[in-house]
Amino acid sequence: MSTQTPESETESETEPEAPATTDHQQRRMDDKRVRAEARDEAAAQAATEFEGETVELKVFRYDPEIEGKEEPRFDSFTVPFEKGMTVLDALIFARDEYDSSLTFRHSCRQAVCGSDAFFVNGSQRLGCQTQMGDLEWPVRVEPLPHQDVVKDLVVEMDHFYDQMESVQPFFDPDDLPDGELEEQRQDRSNRENIKLSTRCIWCGACMSSCNIAAGDNQYLGPAAINAAYRFYMDEREGEQKRQERLEIIEQEHGVWRCQTQFSCTEVCPKDIPLTEHIQELKREAVKENLKFW
């Protein structure tokens, strides 16, 4: 039997059928468009639905894994304003009431975990610490600058953590107390000297604000140098470890890269004098290398 197709067969009979996945993808896109239109309509009506004052929140959006969201944009959300509301409160409301896909980090909500650092109205701030009432409206929330964006307000923090670990932020004393339960004592004045440096919560705001760190990926950065300061200046630290840590921070991409712009000090949510600590470590490095004949 011949397997040839008869010449009289029409063209429509010989065309391959369209993949079944096309219809499925189209339905998904239609559903997403309907949901987006519903969110926009809800946001547009929010000002009349909420009693009292409302504030507009403009939030940076980006999702490289979802079709149609690869290009960065800003979404606007109308949020009911209450006295004492923070930026984090407003973001949580927008996520819970409007768009569950809105992504950002947060944890303790008490300014001690450092997970919710954002770029709010052009400055690095903690979302849970920043009052909406203290800002100009509309409030614009973006991810931390100079860091790769993973999704929406979430940035990649691995490089920041690597820089923090590179200064070896831990004790290595020469001697330990004789008693098993005896504490490692510290002079009160020495404790006062390093007290502010211990407040760092590893939020990355200072690193994000630093122009040097933006252009030099190997620069230790203010947070890491502050961690080095915290242990180097502690009288309980072992002498050998002090020397090792000093060698780390006085390298080419260490304290000497700082240009004393004070941007890190200005944005630190814990009011740590980061620039001052960097300058003190510069003096320590100079003194260590001075030789008298």
- Nearest-angstrom CA–CA distance, 130 and 111: 10
| Range(s) of the domain holding residue 220 | 158-174+187-289
Consecutive H or E run containing 273: none
Mean pLDDT value of segment 200-223: 96
Q: What is the pLDDT at residue 69?
A: 79
Q: What is the pLDDT at residue 181?
A: 79
In a domain, 84, yes or no: yes
In a domain, 252, yes or no: yes
The rounded mean pLDDT for the chain is 87
pTM: 0.80
Q: Could you report the per-residue pLDDT of 29-62, keeping only the tens digit for each?
A: 777 677 667 666 665 555 455 567 999 999 999 9
CATH number where 220 lies? 1.10.1060.10
Is the pLDDT assigned to residue 1 strictly greater than 80?
no
Mean pLDDT value of segment 67-78: 90
- Please report, in angstroms and rounded to a whole number, the separation of the first and last CA atoms in the chain: 108
Residues 92 and 163 both lie in one domain: no
Given the structure tokens 């320590």, which residue do they identify?
284
In a domain, 21, yes or no: no
Half-sphere exposure of 126 (CA within 13 A, CB side): 21
Residues 56 and 132 both lie in one domain: yes
Q: What is the pLDDT at residue 229?
A: 97
Mean pLDDT value of segment 135-150: 96
